[in-house]
A = this chain, B = another copy of it.
Amino acid sequence: MKKSHSIGIVGATGAVGKKFMQVLQEHRITPKNLRLFASQKSKGTKLAFNNHEYEVESLEESDFKGLDIVFFSAGTDISKDHCPRAVKAGAIVIDNSNAFRADPDVPLIVPEVNPHALKNHRGLIANPNCSTIQMLVAIAPIHRINPIKRIVVSTYQSVSGTGIEAIDILKRQAEAFLKAETFPGGVYPHQIAFNLFPHIDIFLENGLCREEEKMVFETRKILESDIPVCPTTVRVPVFFCHSEAVNLELTNPYELDQIRKLLSESPGITMMDTPEKNVYPTPIQCQDKDDVFIGRLRRDNSAKNALNMWVVSDNLRRGAATNGVLIYKYLAENNMI
């Protein structure tokens, strides 16, 4: 990028906030200025970026003056309270929370899928939900040439999606379980070590949990289509990366080889699909990588023009920080900032 910008990160001490700092460095982005924000209790914490130490500011006490871009990842309530303040101060905000995704005035962006929607932003841009991002990077190329008529998806979502405290509880529960010691509870309503449950975020009146509702709503908003989506979202005892078993019904007949070629040439996708040699993506293999990994691509003969695939990606990176950084890079490279 030719120009450097003043960058703020809200929620800098959290799992996604730290990942934002890591991804910005890996993408060799040198901010003109960097400011880190978190809650009052983290004030003064020092975090390294490009070999410099930065002191975390209290979000409550700070203004956003002089910042060109601010990444928010501190939860929906914080975003609701503070994003408007940052926009008012002149920054472009890329918000990772659920606060504004449904707002018709806020573009919801996956850079490989709908960058055109960025042109109407009013200072606020929403980063989609992690499960939605990786599914859309995988299926959007197909949808462009052969419109998708229906999606049935089951997810296998890692605990890092909940935050640092969930990573810790999985570790501590697993340790206690293996030593047959008293079991630490907390974070989740059920044991997560060596267990799993079809429950992510709160349950809504329609019987879906909010993570499922997000996958339905956000898929439609981003693809600008009313594709029906049937998701089941499941938390599994994995630390990083979400996996998804995705079933698509397409409008027209297709050649499997053509879909395979299309996906392997699409940005942000790595094919890992030689099952007879045990090659398909697993969470451990995809950890700390930016791409969406696809395997088990196969024809589904149970419905007309149906197709199955297995999609794995790092939820903190591709599903959060990387997506935000890619939005920022798109804005910068297109002189939109």
A residues near B, CB below 8 A?
Answer: 150-152, 154, 156, 170-171, 174-175, 178, 189-191, 194-199, 203, 206-209, 228-230, 232, 234, 236-239, 243, 245, 247, 275-276, 278, 280, 282-285, 295-296, 298-303, 306, 308, 310
CA gap between A156 and B155 in the complex, in Å: 10
Q: What is the copy number of this chain in the assembly?
A: 2
Do A198 and B310 have beta carbons less than 8 Å apart? yes
Name the contact of A276 in the complex, choosing from B203, B239, B285 (C-beta under 8 A). B203
CA gap between A236 and B295 in the complex, in Å: 17
Name the contact of A203 in the complex, choosing from B206, B228, B234, B275 (C-beta under 8 A). B275
Do A283 and B196 have beta carbons less than 8 Å apart? yes
Known: A247-B230, A306-B230. A280 touches B237 (CB 8 A): no
Name the contact of A302 in the complex, choosing from B152, B284, B295 (C-beta under 8 A). B152
Known: A195-B284, A245-B198, A308-B230. A278 touches B190 (CB 8 A): yes
Known: A154-B154, A207-B275. A196 touches B302 (CB 8 A): no
Known: A197-B282, A232-B296, A296-B198. A154 touches B245 (CB 8 A): yes
Name the contact of A150 in the complex, choosing from B236, B299, B303 (C-beta under 8 A). B303
CA gap between A275 and B206 in the complex, in Å: 11
Do B198 and A151 have beta carbons less than 8 Å apart? no
CA gap between A166 and B318 in the complex, in Å: 32
Please name the residue on chain B nearest to A196 by beta carbon. Answer: B156
Please name the residue on chain B nearest to A247 by beta carbon. Answer: B152
**A239 contacts across to B, CB distance below 8 A:** 194
Do B190 and A234 have beta carbons less than 8 Å apart? no
Do B302 and A228 have beta carbons less than 8 Å apart? yes
Do B171 and A284 have beta carbons less than 8 Å apart? no
CB distance from A153 to the nearest CB of B (A): 8
CA gap between A179 and B260 in the complex, in Å: 40
**A310 contacts across to B, CB distance below 8 A:** 198, 232
6 A-B contacts (beta carbon < 8 Å)? A156-B156, A194-B284, A195-B282, A198-B295, A199-B280, A203-B275
CA gap between A109 and B303 in the complex, in Å: 27
Please name the residue on chain B nearest to A189 by beta carbon. Answer: B278
